[in-house]
Structures are given as structure tokens and as C-alpha cells.
Amino acid sequence: LNTMDWLAPLLALGHGIGRIGCFLVGDDYGKPSDLPWAIAFPNGIPPTDVPVHPTQLYEMTCYFLIFAYLRYFVTNQRNRFKGQIFCEFLFLHGLSRFVIEFVRVNPKYLLGLSGAQIISAIMIITGTIMMYRLRTSDKQIP
């Protein structure tokens, strides 16, 4: 659990950096949009001349914020328990991806949800259950 807590902020940071790469390549963008920050990716994968939601930047922002939150706020909490940072990572990462996925063009599979949303829901549920179980056990970090 200590190792998972140590790695969780770095996972968020790495995923945020990875989304910069997706943006530069023009991959994993969202639905068409007329918002002022919508972007066309004429050389993207696949290409689009229609302005779309830059979901890569939405995710990058979320993951950098998750990194900052986990690194600076949760890490310095007193009475933190082993696994807390990892549980919060699972919950926050799952929640951000679940929400952003509504403006993405991925196919829907189950109950109108995309594969990423189903995985995100599993992450949210797992993080919540683990948080409850670990919090109620007496594994406090000194």
C-alpha cells in the first residue's frame, strides 16, 4: 500500500504528459463543437476539418490537477492511512475520465456508456470500497 501511495501521483502526472502527446498527434479528440477553444485536426488520427472538443487537453488538465492534489494536499495530511492516496487516485481518475468521455466519439457498449466509462465506473467503485475498508481497518500511517 505504501508503494501504491507513492506511485499514484506519478501515474496521474505521467498520464497527463501522455495526453499532451495525444493532442500533438491529433488523436483521441472529442465531438464537434462550436466553442471558442474547439480545434480541428486536419492531420489527426483520424483527420477532421471540423472543430472538435480538445478532450486531450481536458484530460491533461484533470490529471495535472489530480497530481497536484495527491502530491501536495493528501500526502501532507495527518492521520492518513495506508492506501489512501491510491484510493483517491482511482476515484478521481475514474471520475474525470467518466465525465470527459461524454464529449468523446468512442462507441457506446452497455447502458449507453463507452468502454472507458465502464472501466472508469469500476475504478470509482473500487476506489470507494477500498477507501472504506482501509479507513475502517487500523492501518494508520504514523
Gap between the Cα atoms of 9 and 84, Å rounded: 12
Contacting residues for 125 by C-beta, under 8 A, at least 6 apart: none
* Predicted TM-score of the model (pTM): 0.89
Digit-by-digit pLDDT tens for the chain (142 residues) are: 889 999 999 999 999 999 999 999 999 899 999 999 999 999 998 999 999 999 999 999 999 999 999 998 777 777 688 899 999 999 999 999 999 999 998 889 999 999 999 999 999 999 999 999 988 875 555 4
Sign of the CA dihedral running 93, 57, 37, 29: negative
Gap between the Cα atoms of 60 and 104, Å rounded: 14
Q: What residue type is 37 in one-letter code?
A: W
Q: Hey, which residues does 32 pair with through a beta bridge?
A: 52
